[in-house]
Amino acid sequence: MASKFGFAGGIPERKVRPIWDAIDSRQFKNALKHVTTLLAKHPNSPYVLALKALVLERMGKIDDASAVSLTAKENLFSNDLLSMDDLTLSTLQIVFQRLDRLDLATECYEHACGKFPNKMELMMGLFNCYVREYSFVKQQQTAIKMYKLAGEEKYLLWSVCSIHLQVLCGNGGDKLLVLAEGLLKKHVASHSLHEPEALMVYISILEQQAKFGDALEILSGKLGSLLTINVDKLRMQGRLLALAGDYTAAADIFHKILESCPDDWEGFLHYLGCLLEDGSIWCDEAVNDPVHPPKFVSCKVSHLTDEQFDSRISIASAFIRKLQTDTVDNSVRGPYLATIEIERRRHLRGKGNDNNLMDGIVQYFCRFGHLGCFTSDVEMFFEVFTTDKKAELSEKLMKINDTLSTPPTKTLGLSISLFKIKQQLLLGDMFNSSANDVEVSCVQMFEMYCKNIPLSKDLDPQESMHGEELLSITSNILVQLFWRTKNVGYLVEAVMVLEFGLSIRRYVSQYKILLLHLYCHFGALSVAHEWYKSLDVKNILMESMLHHILPQMLVSPLWTELNSLLKDYLKFMDDHFRESADLTFLAYHHKNYSKIIEFVQFKDRLQRSSQYLVTRVETPILQLKQNADNIEDEEGILQSMKCGVDFLELSNEIGSKSLTFNEDLESRPWWTPTVEKNYLLGPFQGISYCPKEILTKERETSLKREIEKKSLLPRMIYLSIQSASLSIKEHVEVNGSVKPDITLELKLLLERFSQFLGFSLSEAIEVVKGSFSNGERSVVSDSNLIDWLNFTVFLNAWNLSSRELVHPDRNEGRPIIWNILDSLLERYILENVRSMEPQLCSPCSKVQLLMQLVTEPLAWHGLVIQSCLRSCLPSSKKKKKSGSAYQSSSNLAHAITESVQQLSLVLEGVIKQISESNRRPEDENSDGILSLLRKDEHNDGPGRVFHVLETFISSMSNAEVGDRIYHSLKSWSPADVARKMMTGKLKVLTAFSAICESKLKLLQSLKQQIAQV
């Protein structure tokens, strides 16, 4: 069998080379020409056919490629053994993978391996196929065969890893681990092990079975020397000893680690845990989400006696003191923070005293308070204190700060740490003080920033400036003042502070994130989006950072921008899902076995990402919104998504999935700790009201419901369109073939949908008939209004083809549900238009709701109308014959006419309102914004910080702040910022207005059609 390159299927290399060359240089047409010539000579060669399929696929001719590749496969199977070479197979594999038919590639390799059971090359290909399909059992079987054949350690480990995968990521039971262990043991006995990663796998297989002693024995034996990074080996030993309950020996190991690396904080925590015989740090490891590990070390109350406890603690203290004196490098913080942790443990034991703990923190402050990381280092210790004690500590820190004499950059660092402590950790305190006091400290911080700009004048613009954080803190406090006073001037002031900072150095991502959220709050979403883009969030960062902008964009009219956000993100995720297995195979290939499980688990994690699932549902919904003004286009879109069937599946499955949350919520501003919360929209409750901990379980439950509900929409829209046209045909074709399955399915979905509203279908229908009230009480609120209206739209559509609801008013005007729907749409849209304040700094939530009303229920209803009209109006071709359908269904005709009329008026109202707010000249508006910051005589309210800012800009000198900063500040203007804010807001309204106009145009064309009947 000729399997060397160039003789695949007996075809000489020089004939094939030009094809590959052309493919590699993307000259597909040329490649196709070569292939066609070659195919004339070898019409049945699977290899040449596979090449042709590859070229066709690359040209985008998917169907042709499919057909050709299937022929290739058939020929491969029916042919003699000649063509069963690796090159043919791997070429086919590439084609099938690109066509998303991994199963067919696997079949080819399975077939080939059946014919040549001992060919390693083919088995390798087959193993690779199973890796791509995540078929762990078959992987295992294939690898074992390879191991038996070649006797290599590598194949044994492939097989062991495949077993481990079954246990961790498949549904294999723990018993399989015994099998894996046995395989390894036998191999070690006869051949030993040669790769460090092989040893790591062996250890983890043992650890998983709680065979800690065995694992330790192996590590300390000859095999242990495979681990070349000594500290890695020690950590492994320490962990195994602790898990085995041998805390004394474990403590010794961690002692060693600390001696060689006194700064290893985790090493210290492990050391202390072992001394105190507390293994909770290892138990937590197993329970916690690795992406959101806890900030605090949890610890159990120790079972040691008091004497034991004291003596262990003094051992630890003595050791740490020794580390402190032995370490010459004065940037090593570990041993100093350790002192505080030891004090905390005492405290938890009930033996501590607040003063000692405070002293520890104060000393740490003296040493490291100037560092940016000071606050995050010590924040975990504050939990221990009561509010009073926190205030006392803050006093102490301030006092000591006054006594420290340090160079200016350090002094600045210390002050920032103090402010941060006050702001982040002792927030409650801040709200006991008067708004005025808070404002005073705000001004102080800002002044401090300005005063210290000269320190940074010679820094490279790439480098962080001294005191950068002061501006984030200042603006955070200004936002708190807004929440407290509802004076929107504070928000504007916060924006100014941050924009000012970014004009000095444009790379500060912290400022950008805060600004982005502030602009969102103003409804200047396009500006927010610009700032988001400037963060250059791409690849995996999208998974952790998209949440900053996506939720707001989903309810905005900036469809183009939204579309590209969704597309980029989905492309990234889908690319990863496609490539991931190949990279896993790379890890197999390079014998880095520990990465195999890591990769598979990571892919699984991303596949269950809450954000990914939301995006998968929102993307088709956006498409449907964008095309709703043209029923033919909409139907095209629906066809391309299999009429919504796939999404129904998602809806059915989602309940049993467990979602992962991968957002970096730490990066969110304090006032909106999760996507769902925004404290600024509610009344001021005191900052202690803002809980930091995130209730993931609750988020998961509500998100799953949301996805389950939303993924019904595409199908319901599809069925509604069908149902509407059916109703007309019924009128026309007496005894015609009514398709009850459409009506029935829609009814089932309505039943499901009504559950999300909290009612049964019949109850929900009653609520609709009562115009959204249940008896006296109204059941709708801003949060479920869209759902109720969507429901009513679908209900109406269903009602058109079903006869279940009796029409008492059958011949008197419009069908009742239709009638109600129109007036509900009118009522809610106009209500929200009226409350769209002319105030330009008003938050954008009303506009968002309005936008949703127009682009969802109104749009879907528009489709139902289009569908009805299309079925009853004579199409241009058969104009003469029919023409009667419209009249014959007179109720409906009436309904349509009225509806079109009424909705047109509503839309005109919206457009008018928007154009009124747009009409005011920008300058007038931006002046209005700036005037919020100008102080009156009483000196109350916002503007103090802004005043300092303006004074600074007008009085700074070139020599003081340096050329670069001087010029960028001179060309910066607050009026520009105000204008930007305004234009941003107007841009959103204009986009919304355009959407309304397009809908209005549709309605007008419908009117014309009706008039022509």
Residues that bind another protein (CB under 8 A): 228-229, 232, 235, 263-267, 290-291, 293-296, 329, 331-334, 337, 371-373, 376-377, 379-380, 460, 462-464, 507, 509, 535-536, 538-541, 543-545, 572, 575-576, 579-580, 583-584, 586-587, 589-590, 592, 594-595, 598-599, 601-602, 605, 662, 664, 666-667
User: Which residue number, 473 or 638, has a Cβ lying nearer to another protein?
Assistant: 473
- DSSP letter for 777, please: E
* Minimum separation from the CB atom of position 507 to another protein (A): 5
Closest CA to 484 of 672, 684, 679: 684
User: Which residue number, 148 or 506, has a Cβ lying nearer to another protein?
Assistant: 506
| SS3 of residue 686 by DSSP | coil
User: Which residue number, 107 or 195, has a Cβ lying nearer to another protein?
Assistant: 195
DSSP string, 202-269: HHHHHHHTT-HHHHHHHHHSGGGGG--SHHHHHHHHHHHHHHTT-HHHHHHHHHHHHHH-TT-HHHHH
User: Which residue number, 261 or 1013, has a Cβ lying nearer to another protein?
Assistant: 261
Q: Which amino acid is at 876?
A: S
* Calpha distance 637→588 (Å, rounded): 42
* Calpha distance 245→255 (Å, rounded): 17
* Minimum separation from the CB atom of position 204 to another protein (A): 13
- DSSP letter for 655, please: G
User: Which residue number, 436 or 464, has a Cβ lying nearer to another protein?
Assistant: 464
User: Which residue number, 463 or 804, has a Cβ lying nearer to another protein?
Assistant: 463
User: Which residue number, 589 or 1001, has a Cβ lying nearer to another protein?
Assistant: 589
What are the residues facing 888 on neighbouring strands? none
* Calpha distance 737→726 (Å, rounded): 9
Whether the CB-CB separation of 216 and 242 falls below 8 Å is answered with no
DSSP string, 362-383: HHHHHHHTTSTTHHHHHHHHHT
**Long-range interactions of 761-770: CB distance < 8 A, separation 24+:** 764/791, 764/795, 765/795, 765/805, 768/792, 768/795, 768/817, 768/820, 769/816, 769/817, 769/820
Residue 810 φ then ψ, to 5°? -50, -40
User: Which residue number, 67 or 540, has a Cβ lying nearer to another protein?
Assistant: 540
* Minimum separation from the CB atom of position 264 to another protein (A): 5
* Minimum separation from the CB atom of position 977 to another protein (A): 22
Supply 384's token pair.
Answer: 């221990």
20: number of CA atoms within 13 Å, CB side?
A: 10
* Calpha distance 1013→1010 (Å, rounded): 5
* Calpha distance 634→1002 (Å, rounded): 14
* Minimum separation from the CB atom of position 139 to another protein (A): 17
Whether the CB-CB separation of 835 and 849 falls below 8 Å is answered with no
Contacts of 99 (CB under 8 A, 6+ apart): 57, 62, 65, 66, 69
* Minimum separation from the CB atom of position 543 to another protein (A): 6
User: Which residue number, 399 or 538, has a Cβ lying nearer to another protein?
Assistant: 538
* Minimum separation from the CB atom of position 291 to another protein (A): 5
* Minimum separation from the CB atom of position 236 to another protein (A): 11
* Minimum separation from the CB atom of position 313 to another protein (A): 19
User: Which residue number, 289 or 916, has a Cβ lying nearer to another protein?
Assistant: 289
* Minimum separation from the CB atom of position 342 to another protein (A): 14
User: Which residue number, 168 or 830, has a Cβ lying nearer to another protein?
Assistant: 168
Query: Tokens 């990381």 label which residue?
Result: 373
* Minimum separation from the CB atom of position 164 to another protein (A): 16
User: Which residue number, 587 or 767, has a Cβ lying nearer to another protein?
Assistant: 587
* Minimum separation from the CB atom of position 544 to another protein (A): 5
* Minimum separation from the CB atom of position 372 to another protein (A): 4
User: Which residue number, 260 or 701, has a Cβ lying nearer to another protein?
Assistant: 260
Angle of the 713-732 helix axis to the 645-653 helix axis, nearest 10: 130
* Minimum separation from the CB atom of position 532 to another protein (A): 12
CB atoms within 10 A of CB 248: 10
* Calpha distance 377→360 (Å, rounded): 13
> What's the count of helices (H) and strands (E) in the chain, helices before strands?
50, 2
Supply 661's token pair.
Answer: 């949350």
User: Which residue number, 212 or 661, has a Cβ lying nearer to another protein?
Assistant: 661
Q: Kindly tell me the burial class for residue 955, based on how many C-beta atoms sit within 10 Å of its own C-beta (0-12, 13-18, 19 or more).
A: exposed
User: Which residue number, 40 or 229, has a Cβ lying nearer to another protein?
Assistant: 229
Closest CA to 833 of 895, 911, 766, 755: 911
* Minimum separation from the CB atom of position 459 to another protein (A): 9
User: Which residue number, 10 or 294, has a Cβ lying nearer to another protein?
Assistant: 294
* Calpha distance 122→116 (Å, rounded): 8
Contacts of 1005 (CB under 8 A, 6+ apart): none
What are the residues facing 778 on neighbouring strands? 773
User: Which residue number, 55 or 546, has a Cβ lying nearer to another protein?
Assistant: 546
Whether the CB-CB separation of 191 and 153 falls below 8 Å is answered with yes
User: Which residue number, 367 or 769, has a Cβ lying nearer to another protein?
Assistant: 367
* Calpha distance 29→568 (Å, rounded): 29
Query: Tokens 């796939």 label which residue?
Result: 646
* Minimum separation from the CB atom of position 273 to another protein (A): 14
* Calpha distance 520→506 (Å, rounded): 20
* Minimum separation from the CB atom of position 59 to another protein (A): 24
CB atoms within 10 A of CB 738: 16
* Calpha distance 497→949 (Å, rounded): 8
* Minimum separation from the CB atom of position 379 to another protein (A): 7
Whether the CB-CB separation of 676 and 627 falls below 8 Å is answered with no
Query: Tokens 């004065």 label which residue?
Result: 330
